[in-house]
Copies of this chain bind each other. A is one copy, B any other.
Amino acid sequence: MRAIYFSQGTAVTVDQPNPEPGPGEALVRVLSAGVCNTDIELFNGYYGFAGVPGHEFVGRIARSPDDPALEGVRVVADINCGCGACRFCLAGNRRHCAARQVIGIKGRPGAFAEYLCVPAANLHPVPDALDDREAVFAEPLAAALEIGQQIHIGSNDTVAVLGDGKLGLLCALGLRPLNPGLLLIGRHEAKLALAAAQGVRTLYCPAGKEDAVLPRLRGFFDLAIEATGRPEGLAQAIELTRPEGTVALKTTSRLPLTLNLAKVVVDEINLIGSRCGDMALALDTLANGRLDVRPLIQAVYPFSEFARAFAAARAPGALKVLLDFGG
């Protein structure tokens, strides 16, 4: 099979034997995969990554030795593969297993390949109502919806999402059903318009104009969701949050951040990190049409044109770039 191999800032196409499913695993043929900012970070050397990336995907079970009845089922996957024996795994929380492998990120080849092996316990069947290009959003949408699993969001809470990139848009569109008044704050009029078309209130705050726009909203929000992907986003989110309010932090950065935490202490602000979420909830949310992810697709490339696809995904301001494996 063909696979993409990342190593120290290079991406090469390799030809290698199909992987063999181990105990409890299924072999999945990839139908569609999405390029995430994390893939770009991995390419750039985050975690010293070397391997086959790709963690947003939909595929079809090609072989399932433990349960052949699953063959042919279309699936997405929870990317966190736990050890199965620690207290987190035993409590059903393999996302936080300290020894976990993470598909396409840590210890396990990912979905920028024609086939990959996935523990059967991580697979979720995709409802027929969803086409591949929607289903591939299950993983990043689950990460957006995770905020509503970690904290209670009331319908009348004042909620802001900072950042109108891929993840910010999914946070705004995904959480709006819980909080119809949610405000998306971003730098890109065209991206804000995508969210506004689905009923999201938006505030345009062009780059460099933060000091003119944001102080008027200082301390206004019960919840500020930081999804800017920029190091200064967290300080802005803290500024916008009311005393005893909450900041949800989605941006991961490999670099240390310099931050004045005095307002966090004095205003007793709750800062909560947020990562992966519930894939079944994301699939249900998509299948029931609570948001339309298709406008977030920037472009679709055949897998054979990975280099072009990845260049498009790395372009500043790019939305979701998908790889089509010719299902």
Please list the residues of chain A having a beta carbon within 8 angstroms of any beta carbon in chain B. 88, 93, 96, 98, 146, 150, 219, 234, 242-244, 249-275
In whole angstroms, how far apart are the Cα atoms of A306 and B207 in the complex? 52
Distance from A38 Cβ to chain B, minimum over Cβ atoms (Å): 11
Q: Report chain B residues within 8 Å CB of A258.
A: 256-259
Minimum Cβ distance to chain B for residue A37 (Å): 13
Which of B96, B243, B250, B261 makes the CB contact (< 8 A) with A257?
B261
Across-interface contacts of A146 in B (CB, < 8 A): 268
Count of this chain's copies in the oligomeric assembly: 2
Main secondary structure of the interface of A (DSSP, over half): mixed
Residues of B within 8 A of A266 (CB): 252, 273, 275
In the assembled complex, the Cα of A252 lies from the Cα of B272 at a distance in Å of: 19
Most chain B CB inside 10 Å of its own CB: which residue of A88, A249, A250, A263 = A249
Chain B residues, Cβ within 8 Å of A253:
261-262
Contacting residue for A274 out of B251, B254, B268, CB 8 A: B268
Q: Specify which chain B residues have a CB less than 8 angstroms from the CB of A271 in the assembled complex.
A: 264, 270-273
Which residues in B have their C-beta under 8 angstroms from that of A98?
219, 243
Q: Indicate which residue in B243, B264, B267, B273 contacts A269 across the interface (CB closer than 8 Å).
A: B273
8 residue pairs A–B, Cβ–Cβ below 8 Å: A146-B268, A249-B264, A252-B262, A256-B259, A258-B259, A264-B271, A265-B273, A268-B273
When the two chains form the complex, which single residue of B96, B243, B268, B272 contacts A243, counting CB atoms closer than 8 Å? B96
A250: which of B244, B251, B265 is its contact (CB, 8 Å)?
A: B265
Which of B93, B267, B273 is the one whose CB lies under 8 Å from A96?
B267
Residue from A234, A244, A253 with most neighbouring chain B CB atoms (10 Å)? A244
Q: Which of B96, B268, B273, B274 contacts A272 (CB 8 A)?
A: B268
Tell me which residues across on chain B come within 8 A of A93, comparing CB atoms. Answer: 243-244
Q: Is the pair B262, A268 in contact by a Cβ cutoff of 8 Å?
A: no
In the complex with contacts A268-B273, A268-B275, A261-B244 CB distance below 8 A: no
Q: Which residue of B lies closest to A88 (CB)?
A: B243
Among B88, B96, B259, B267, the residue within 8 A (CB) of A259 is B259
On whether the beta carbons of A275 and B270 are closer than 8 Å, the reply is: no
Pair A274/B265 contact, Cβ less than 8 Å: yes
Decide: A265 and B270 in contact? CB cutoff 8 A: no
Residues B265 and A249 in contact, CB atoms below 8 Å apart = yes
Give the CA-CA distance A262 to B253 in the complex, in Å.
Answer: 6
